[in-house]
Structure formats: C-alpha cells, structure tokens
A and B are shown apart, each in its own frame.
Chain A
Amino acid sequence: AQSVTQLDSQVPVFEEAPVELRCNYSSSVSVYLFWYVQYPNQGLQLLLKYLSGSTLVKGINGFEAEFNKSQTSFHLRKPSVHISDTAEYFCAVSPNNAGNMLTFGGGTRLMVKP
C-alpha cells in the first residue's frame, strides 16, 4: 500500500516570490509520482510526472519537481509565482508494478498575494 503526505495545507506567498510545496510518500514498491493542480470549479490537471531517469522533472506553467528516493520526497517548486497560480495542488503516486490506481495527498492550497 502507498500513502502520501503533504505537510502544508496552505501556503501563502507574494507574487513573484519562489515557492516550494512539499510531498513525502511511503510505499513498499517502486512508484510513479505525479503533481496535479485544481483551479476553482475545475477538474484535476496534470502538472508533471516522474517515471524514471532524471530526478528533476519539468512541467507546465514553469513548475518543476525533484524526486529524492532516499528521502522519499517529490517536492514541487516554482522560482517566481503569479496570481494565476492560486489553486489547490495535489501530490499523487501509483505503484509501477500493477494497475494505475492513484493515491493522493491531502492537497496544498497555494495562495498568491499581490
């Protein structure tokens, strides 16, 4: 079984500041890792995913994430946020040995202030 922890339920940040949203996971098997974003009244949209290879993954909207196997982390970063990045961000994992079921973290609400 897998579990995902997003330690910060809310992250307030000023526009153009850098941001890091933290994600840690636990799993008895190797996993694929994902970050999804949910804008108000919309579905979950994939930001980026880690499958294998380079541990630094770049996604849409200037976001990137780094997979750290020893720390079982997959933190999301952006060097300079915009007001439009205000949304809920979800980290998720799926086991790479069978099925495609996603296990989600609790979400982090990013609030970008002018």
Chain B
Amino acid sequence: EPEVTQTPSHQVTQMGQEVILRCVPISNHLYFYWYRQILGQKVEFLVSFYNNEISEKSEIFDDQFSVERPDGSNFTLKIRSTKLEDSAMYFCASSDSVGGPDTQYFGPGTRLTVL
C-alpha cells in the first residue's frame, strides 16, 4: 500500500539555525499538508499546498516558515531561524482531492528538537 514518507525521523538543531523537513507524498496525490504536534498538545494544522501554491495557512505559519515542492516527488517545510518553541513532531499528509471529505494520509513524522 502506498504511504507518505518523511525524513529525517529525528532532527536536532541549534536555535537560530535553518532546518528543512522532507516529505514524499503518495505519488498520485495533488494536495499536501503540514501539521505539527508540540509535546503534550494537540495536532495543529500549519499549511496546505496545491498546484504549487499555498491554499490555506494557520496563524502558526508565519514568515519563518515556507513550503516548496522542488521536484515531482518531494514536499518540504523550511524553518528559517528555529526557536525553542518550534520543537515538535511535524507531520506531512497528502490527499487526492480538496473541498471535499477525502482522506488525508499521514507520514510517520519528524521529531524536531531545538536546543
């Protein structure tokens, strides 16, 4: 069964450094998402992406964050200058339709630790 993959599984970085989290969505999907879960808190929506542009973004997704689909397979989340409060589990998801109830398939997550 096709699945969403994410690399790395765990990323440790120093405050102020840039990080790029990578995701490979399911191959025929066209809609991509990033969510995060700070330890002990809810899973929160960050951003959705379709047709090479952002469809929706939350208040969390400020100028420090950016997303990109650099090629036909990868979908990345970049944090320009990490803060301690960016430490969280980051989940990528993909689906093959939007505006409707289609299922989002989630990856296993990348645990980001900012020191």
Contacts and interface: CB of A to CB of B under 8 A. Distances in A.
A and B co-occur in one complex: yes
Interface residues of A, number: 24
A30 B70 CA distance: 36
Contacts of A94: 101
Contacts of A42: 108
A92 B91 CA distance: 15
B19 interface: no
Contacts of B41: 106
Nearest to A98: B99
Interface residues of A, dominant DSSP: loop
Interface residues of B, number: 29
Contacts of B35: 102, 104
Interface string B77-113: 0000000000000010101001111111111110000
B51 to A, nearest CB: 14
A63 interface: no
Interface string A30-54: 0010001000011111100101000
A102 B104 contact: yes
A114 interface: no
B80 to A, nearest CB: 23
A51 B101 contact: yes
Given A43-B4, A44-B91, A45-B106, A100 B44 contact: no
Given A49-B101, A100-B102, A106 B42 contact: yes
28 contacts: A36-B106, A43-B3, A43-B4, A44-B91, A45-B106, A49-B103, A51-B101, A96-B101, A98-B99, A99-B48, A99-B55, A100-B31, A100-B33, A100-B48, A100-B95, A100-B99, A100-B100, A100-B104, A101-B33, A101-B45, A101-B48, A101-B56, A102-B45, A104-B35, A104-B42, A104-B43, A104-B44, A107-B42
Interface of A: 32, 36, 41-46, 49, 51, 90, 92, 94, 96, 98-107
Given A100-B33, A102-B104, A107-B42, 17 more contacts: A36-B106, A41-B108, A42-B108, A43-B105, A43-B107, A43-B109, A44-B106, A45-B106, A51-B101, A100-B48, A100-B99, A101-B33, A101-B58, A102-B33, A102-B45, A104-B35, A104-B44
